[in-house]
Amino acid sequence: MKALISSERWAAVRLFAMDVDGILTDGTVHVSSDGTESKTFSILDGMGLVRLRKAGVITAWISGRASGATTVRATELKIPHLVQGRTDKISALQELAAALGLTAGQIVYMGDDDIDTPAIAWAGIGVTVPDAMPSPFAAAGYVTRRPAGRGAVREVCEHILAARGHSLPA
């Protein structure tokens, strides 16, 4: 069982960065015979990300593969930092942190696969999902109760918002 993350650490978060496939989705990509792809994104996760934006927390998606479906969903949610086709997640995250003037302690990174592990370990709060691969699972300080693509991102959003004193909308 992972240690509890203090409210102070959650409250310090200014950037919530995450992988896409296997975090915002269940990791499944549907490819049709004509080559088009589709993904399923949780409305719960989307609402959490919208609430974070309204609370002043920056969000970023860092994906190892480029995807039109990811671009469309990021645009809908007004995700200000979308990085696709970067498998070196730690470099992408550190570059973004430097550009935003943030330290590792102000960042949550959430991922589920080996290429996410260095970013999970570097971030002030590293997060993964229950069915992650062994290395990110070992590196994470927090493992969500909810599964990927089914509210895991929202769970993290709620921790950040609660620590910052934001209650649920009436």
Structural domain includes residue 169: no
- Pair type for strands 142-143 and 125-128: parallel
Backbone angles phi, psi at 39, to 5 degrees: -135, 160
3-state SS record for the chain = CCCCCCHHHHHCCCEEEECCCCCCCCCCCEECCCCCEECCCCHHHHHHHHHHHHCCCEEEEEECCCCHHHHHHHHHHCCCEEEECCCCHHHHHHHHHHHHCCCHHHEEEECCCHHHHHHHHHCCEEEECCCCCHHHHHHCCEECCCCCCCCHHHHHHHHHHHHCCCCCCC
Structural domain includes residue 123: yes
Q: Which two tokens stand for residue 55?
A: 């609370």
At residue 3 the predicted structure's pLDDT band, cuts being 50, 70 and 90, is low
Structural domain includes residue 2: no
Q: How many domains does the chain have?
A: 1
Distances 114 to 118, 133, 139, 164, 166 between C-alpha atoms, Å: 8, 7, 10, 31, 33
pLDDT digits (tens, 9 = 90+) for 16-39: 999 999 999 998 888 889 888 889
Structural domain includes residue 168: no
Per-residue confidence (pLDDT) for residue 52, from 0 to 100: 96
pLDDT higher than threshold 50 for residue 170: no
pTM comes to 0.94
Share the mean pLDDT of the chain.
94
Structural domain includes residue 1: no
Nearest to 86 by CA among 64, 102, 69, 111: 64
Structural domain includes residue 170: no
Instruction: Assign residue 26 the CATH number of its domain.
Output: 3.40.50.1000
Per-residue confidence (pLDDT) for residue 150, from 0 to 100: 96
Contact by Cβ (8 Å): 69, 28: no
Per-residue confidence (pLDDT) for residue 1, from 0 to 100: 46
Structural domain includes residue 85: yes
pLDDT digits (tens, 9 = 90+) for 88-121: 999 999 999 999 999 999 999 999 999 999 999 9
Q: Range of 128's domain?
A: 7-163
